[in-house]
Amino acid sequence: MDVGQADAILIKQGASAMLVDAGNNADAEFVVQYIKDQGVTQLDYVIGTHPHEDHIGGLDAVIREFQIGKIIMPKAVATTKTYEDVLVAIQQKGLKITAPVAGTEYGFGAAAFTVLAPNSASYEGLNNHSVVIRMIYGKTSFLLTGDAEAISEKEILDKGFTLKSDVLKISHHGSVTSTTAEFLDAVDPRYAVISVGEGNSYGHPSPSVIKRLQDRGIQVYRTDENGTVIAVSDGAAITFAVQSTPTPDVPVPSAPAQPAVPPKNGGVVIQSVDLVNEVVTLKNTSSEDVDLSGWVLLSVKGNQSFVFPQGTIIKAGATLTMASGDAAGDIRWTNKNIWNNDGDPAQLIDARGNVVSEY
């Protein structure tokens, strides 16, 4: 999620959902609403990677608002009201904290994740206490690093864990203290995502880290430039949906091509796009209801996207309107204007990344 100079990651697999970090204190309302907008009412796992405010600020609100399965947080403590608020919320819900143990694997729907760090009990700062996990779904993989720095990265390497991953969440907002060349080469990602605030005072992401990524031909997505970044995996391939264009100077993958054999999309098509009034109409031309969960509606020119929440159904023969700006519709995209009045193609992409309709 785009939470500025902070981290918040929502992961869904089938009926399962988990949250890794929850932004700053000021992000609490946004994070809670974003999770609700995805049709999530229960979080099987909540991970607070380490007790810095920009990672656990909204965690107390999330814990109070949703049914929670397991909470994973490192043993590191902080003498802050933010950390105290999280502990109080956990206690009030009658929950307990599970300490991360490197090498432990957890099931997550049809996916699974393994804890890779922390690997020591004591560090000088809180960042190296960060919970690091590697998520596997089918043949695809994601490595989430919190704010782990070079010390933790070396410990992970020394442990001999499998690190090769398709997507790497760049640690510590792209700080020079993280993402060493040795660690990056071991992960060997195709894509990197940096959660970072626009115009932040820390100089994140570090130019040296960006160069390291570019030198390896890694596609970079940044929340300060792209807004909320959504990666969709079907277990075989990963597609991205973002609000704007990826970071310049890195090769940009083209939109998924229309498959030779039409996908089994139930006959859902884009019936019309009203660029001026900001309304898109979808029509289910088939005789069966179609589940749009995880599908994406894309404004091609602006590269802005809407991901349909879990449980979105378009009835057989029915239409569904998507509204933005001041328009009214069945589903509200955003209060901002999305469509370019001078011409803006639209694509409908199914949950497997197939372009099923264009207008």
| C-alpha distances out from residue 232 to 11, 323, 344, Å | 10, 23, 23
* Residue 7 pLDDT exceeds 90: yes
Residue bearing tokens 């809407």: 306
Residue 204 binned pLDDT confidence (cut-offs 50, 70, 90): very high
Tell me where in the chain the CATH 3.60.15.10 domain(s) lie. Answer: 8-241
Which sign does the torsion angle of CA 149, 21, 79, 122 carry?
negative
Mean pLDDT score across all residues of the chain: 90
Strands 219-222 and 191-194, by their bridges, are parallel
Distance (Å, whole) CA 50 – CA 344 = 43
* Residue 179 pLDDT exceeds 80: yes
Q: What is the mean pLDDT of residues 228-249?
A: 77
Tell me where in the chain the CATH 2.60.40.1260 domain(s) lie. Answer: 268-358
Query: Between these two residues, 172 and 252, which has the higher pLDDT value?
Result: 172
Lowest model confidence (mean pLDDT) among 91-100, 190-199, 297-306, 332-341 = 297-306
Query: Between these two residues, 194 and 263, which has the higher pLDDT value?
Result: 194
Instruction: Given CATH 2.60.40.1260, say whether it is the number of domain 268-358.
Output: yes
Give the model's pLDDT for residue 190: 96
Q: What is the mean pLDDT of residues 143-163?
A: 97
- pTM (2 decimals)? 0.71
What percentage of the chain exceeds 70 in pLDDT? Answer: 92
* Residue 183 pLDDT exceeds 70: yes
Distance (Å, whole) CA 124 – CA 217 = 34
Give the model's pLDDT for residue 246: 46
Let me know if 255 is exposed, middle or buried by CB neighbors in 10 A (0-12, 13-18, 19+): middle
**Phi, then psi, of 46 in degrees rounded to 5:** -125, 120
**Residues 119-122: contacts with CB under 8 Å, at least 24 apart:** 119/152, 119/155, 119/156, 119/159, 120/155, 121/75
Q: What is the mean pLDDT of residues 311-334?
A: 89
Fold of 8-241: Metallo-beta-lactamase; Chain A (3.60.15)
* Residue 56 pLDDT exceeds 60: yes
Give the model's pLDDT for residue 296: 84
Give residue-wise pLDDT tens across range 60-80: 999 999 999 999 999 999 999
Distance (Å, whole) CA 97 – CA 79 = 17
Residue 336 binned pLDDT confidence (cut-offs 50, 70, 90): confident
Structural element, H or E, at residue 269: strand 268-274
